[in-house]
Every structure is written in structure tokens, then in C-alpha cells.
Amino acid sequence: MSHARIQSHLLASLALTMSTTFFAPAYGDSPIHQNDDVLGRWRLTRMLDASNITALDDKEAARLIGKIFLVEPDKVSLDGEICDEPGFERHYEDTVRYLREEAHASSWKLGLPSNVTVVDLSCTEALIKGYDKIVILWKGVFFDAVRLDPMMHRQKTKR
């Protein structure tokens, strides 16, 4: 290997090391929990759409607006219904295709990015919409949800 090529490899390694050192979030010595983007308390703010087949009628879905959706490492709950042992399996999907094939729903009302992170929570799914915003699929109905106390949640993860 030539001297110039070795030097080029060393510079590339140094640049990679510096970028991960200087631009990584400052979270102390503990790693960020991989599910921090869904763990926490979420308020359902509005109904967005529904699958072709749902377990809720419009009146039941409307009654959930304003309710707290709780995601903890060992359970998920909404309006008194609890699902134990959420899986937290993640997959990254083309939004239009995924919603059409898996939820039999249109994507245009949901305000999601063109590729979405889907987190399976055993009895439901969370689709990552943005910073402290998710879309919850609950019994065939899609709801917008915003994180409650986002700063408190971030401080807990920065230990």
C-alpha cells in the first residue's frame, strides 16, 4: 500500500472518530435506551383516519381524544386497557406501501414521512412521526399523539 493511500485511510478513520465523538449526544456514561422515542406518556390529540376494518366506531374513537396512552418497558395502556409485555420490534417501511398492505388504510391523512419507523407494541403499533410526535394505531383507528413532559423524559434518559 502506498504512503498516500495509508495516509488517506488514517485521515478517514480520524474524521469518523471525531464526528462520532464531537457530534454524539451528551448523555453521560449510560447509553440511550433504544425505545426512548416511544416510552412515556402520550396524549391522543386527534383522530386521523381508520383502517377499512376497525374495532371502534366513530363515537368510541372520538371519546379517546385527550386520553393518555402510556408506554412503559413492561406494558402499554390506554383508557384502562392494558397490554402486557410489549415487543418493541422495529421495522422501517415505505409509508404508502406499508399502510396499504398492512393496515388497509391510506397514508395521506396521517402526516407521516415517506419512510416510517414502525414500533410493534404487541397489541398496537406506534409510527414515529417526528420529534415527540407519534401516530398510534389503536383497534384500527389512527390517532395523533404528543409526548407529555418531553423535557422531563429527556432528563431521565440523560443520567
How many whole angstroms separate alpha carbon 101 and alpha carbon 106? 10
Grid cell listed for 38: 416511544
156: Cβ contacts below 8 Å, ≥ 6 apart = none
Parse the chain into domains and list their residue ranges.
Answer: 40-157
Residue 153's DSSP bridge partners are: none
Q: What's the whole-model pTM score?
A: 0.74
Local confidence band at 159 (pLDDT 50, 70, 90 cut-offs): very low
pLDDT exceeds cutoff 60 at 102 = yes
Rounded mean pLDDT of the chain? Answer: 81
Residue range 83-95: mean pLDDT, rounded: 94
Share above pLDDT 90 across residues of the chain, in percent, rounded to a whole number: 62
Contact 124, 138 (CB under 8 A): yes
pLDDT exceeds cutoff 50 at 32 = no
Strand, coil or helix: what is 20? helix
Local confidence band at 53 (pLDDT 50, 70, 90 cut-offs): confident
